[in-house]
Amino acid sequence: MELEKYKLGGTHLKSSDFEKGKVLTTAWQPNLAYTWDNGVAIGRYLDELKNGRIIARVCHECHRIMLPPRMFCELCFRPTDEWMYVQDTGVVSTFSVARVNWDASRRGPKEPPLLPAVIEIDGATKGMGILHMLGEVDPDDIKAGMKVRAVWKKSEDRTGAITDILYFKPLRAAASKKAPARRKR
């Protein structure tokens, strides 16, 4: 028969074979720990975040300031040239109002939504930026093009991770807390 050549052989098992203990089974928890090498560019980037600074790489060939930084330019196929500090301010490129957690579970009805956004960082080439969270803003007030500033953890709490920036908040919110300017006479 044509199908015979596809049989893999072996012993056919039934559910009852497992239930009656005719099949040896074992249960174990694999150790799935792993490490990831940050590399030169991301390693320096994370070190600078720990110090409260954002750093990028410059490519003199295609005139880009790349964030996150990389040691190799994917457009002109050459090593990047130098490090450059950029601002901790930027513009919201795109955003989402998420009513689910990162593990896809529903947020409680009293929990505020998560507000992930892509932030184009000032000083980096347009279109270069990072994915991070927005804070201190009503979801209905978020707009593409909104100016934002990083809110950092206290220096003693930073670990050299992207989470050293707690979130980005609108610049207008900070400005609105200032006393109104007096008119000159």
pLDDT digits (tens, 9 = 90+) for 3-23: 566 566 777 788 888 888 888
Q: Could you tell me how many residues make up the chain?
A: 185
Q: What is the strand order of the sheet 116-121 is part of?
A: 129-133, 116-121, 89-95, 147-152, 165-170
pLDDT at 81 over 60: yes
Cβ atoms of 150 and 67 within 8 Å: the answer is: no
pTM of the model as a whole: 0.73
The number of CA neighbours under 13 Å toward the Cβ of 1 is 4
> Average pLDDT over the chain, rounded to whole?
88
For residue range 90-143, list pLDDT tens digits in order: 999 999 999 999 889 999 999 999 999 999 999 999 999 899 999 999 999 999
